[in-house]
DNA sequence: CGAAATACCTTGACAGATGAGGTATCTCGT
DNA sequence: ACGAGATACCTCATCTGTCAAGGTATTTCG
């Protein structure tokens, strides 16, 4: 079974920010980590990922810079900002609340 | 804090089906129950709700019939079908899996 | 009588996810 | 040296679910 993107829609920003809390990273790597952590059951599509980066940068949650210039294939690294940390905190709380509510709404028995 | 609909996007069908598992119901009532169970923190908008009913009926997950003819305001009742029960089961499992994966992806510490 | 609650429905707009396509570099086996 | 596959980035058009806004009709209660 695989998890459709719509099931996680609205939480992509949270995932990315939570990842960046652990340190700067770049698109390809984040995608790999997500795929690995979910045992391949969930995979952010590239288009989705880069859309999210753009959105997060526009809202001041992350900043970016080119790294590995000259060495390997060029990489654009992303770093979380102070605003991003606050947003991330808020999104994590929202996820906890979403879980609670959903569990209550999906209860089948009395 | 209130939960935006997009955070639950993709799970509306699961919520509705899980509700109908407990017995036939109609739009207005389902909406009320959802609002009550979530302590007002989440509310399906009417347009969203009726869109979902239409979708679920088209895919054979639910059937509908007019009730209370003559008495109060007319009500369209919905009943879950065998197909709907199977779909509901699948969606509940998907929700459990989504939770697991999300929790793993959102982990902030080692 | 009039307001509020009950109860249904449709339309157009919007935002996020995605398929499909494109570019460029690096690594490794032959 | 060559080709394949992995690494790494990006954009655009399309699809789908949510929702704001609007509409209709009935019942209840002060």
pLDDT tens for each residue of A49-106: 999 999 999 999 999 999 865 556 789 999 999 999 999 999 999 999 999 999 999 9
Out of 3.40.50.2000, 3.40.50.800, 1.10.10.10, 3.40.190.10, the CATH code matching A5-106 is: 1.10.10.10
Handedness of CA B92, B97, B100, B102 (dihedral sign): negative
CA atoms within 13 A on the CB side of A22: 15
Q: In sequence order, what are the beta bridge partners of B77?
A: B26, B65
With CA atoms as reference, report the closest residue to B18 among B76, B94, B102.
B94
Q: Give dist(CA A64, CA A56) in Å, integer.
A: 10
Instruction: Provide the shortest C-alpha distance from residue A66 to chain B (in Å).
Output: 25
With CA atoms as reference, report the closest residue to A83 among A65, A64, A56, A52.
A56
Per-residue pLDDT, A6: 80
Chain A residues whose CB is inside 8 A of the B3 CB are 94, 97-98, 101
Number of residues in chain B:
110
Per-residue pLDDT, B80: 97
CA atoms within 13 A on the CB side of A28: 4
Contact between B64 and B76 under an 8 Å Cβ cutoff? The reply is yes
Question: Which residue shows structure tokens 């959105």?
Answer: A55
Contact between B20 and B80 under an 8 Å Cβ cutoff? The reply is yes
For chain B, which residues lie within 8 Å of any Cβ of chain A, measuring from their own Cβ? 1, 3-4, 6-11, 14-15, 18-19, 21-22, 34, 37-38, 41-42, 92-95, 97-99, 101-102, 104-108
Mean pLDDT over B80-99 rounds to 96
Contact between A55 and A13 under an 8 Å Cβ cutoff? The reply is yes
The pLDDT-based confidence of B64 (bands split at 50, 70, 90) is very high
């Amino acid at each position: 079974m695989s998890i459709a993107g719509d099931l996680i829609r609205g939480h992509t920003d949270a995932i990315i920010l939570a990842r960046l809390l652990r340190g700067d990273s770049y698109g390809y790597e984040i995608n790999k980590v997500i795929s690995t952590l979910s045992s391949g059951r969930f995979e952010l599509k590239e288009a989705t990922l880069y859309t999210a980066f753009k959105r997060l940068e526009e809202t001041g949650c992350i900043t970016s810079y080119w790294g590995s210039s000259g060495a390997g294939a060029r990489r654009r690294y992303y770093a979380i900002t102070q605003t991003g940390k606050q947003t991330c905190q808020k999104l994590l709380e929202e996820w906890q609340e979403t879980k609670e509510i959903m569990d209550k709404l999906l209860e089948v028995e009395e």
